[in-house]
Amino acid sequence: MGESLDSIIKTFINITLEEINSLKSEISVKMYEKPIKLVMEAEENGNRVHITGIGKPGHVAGYIASLLSSTGTPAYELHGTEAVHGSAGQVKPGDVVIAISNSGETAELKATVTTLKNNGAKIIAVTGKRESWLAKKGDAYLYAGVENEGDPLNRAPRASILAEVFVLQILSLLLQCKKGITSQQYVRWHPGGSLGKMR
């Protein structure tokens, strides 16, 4: 008989917390200097920020675009595969695209990033592999690596997705603070629900 469900849960939690704790030692302000500069310069020049990924990182892209937009950095989700079928038209020369891929070798994302770079976009690569194609093609790089996804197969993206979210949440936090976003501004962007009742 295999592991108990209780043991599986505990193992997943322990591995995930260990992976995030390990990632913490890799994170520094220096890692974020170039990504922040790219975003700030793009905005100063009237350009925009887009987020993209393939598969599950594509869902991360939607959340991060929403988080950035709600904290002072308007951002747009760019569909990872539709970009090579015309959606790259939403990206102007000088725009910044945050591209997310754990392996940094996903074929569809390679095609998308190549198209975007050819069209004049700047790429912030978010990947767990420092020597990957994506890391090398990025104009800036954010490391989001894990060794173990937290399950017996070590295949399905679990811990790596949490790492990508964690690293990009920090980017949103630093941009928010760099821009001096106030509580009043934040509430204005969230008029609905409980946030809209805050003053």
Give residue 1's pLDDT. 47
The domains of the chain, with CATH numbers, are 29-187 (3.40.50.10490)
d(C-alpha 48, C-alpha 67), whole Å: 15
d(C-alpha 76, C-alpha 90), whole Å: 9
d(C-alpha 141, C-alpha 35), whole Å: 7
Tell the residue number behind the tokens 């905005």, with chain if given.
43
Give residue 188's pLDDT. 78
Q: Judge contact between 53 and 99, C-beta under 8 A.
A: yes
Report CA torsion sign: 83, 87, 88, 94. negative
Give residue 175's pLDDT. 98
pTM confidence score = 0.94
Mean pLDDT, each 10-residue run in order, the chain (199 residues): 87 97 96 98 98 98 97 96 93 98 98 97 98 98 97 95 98 96 81 70
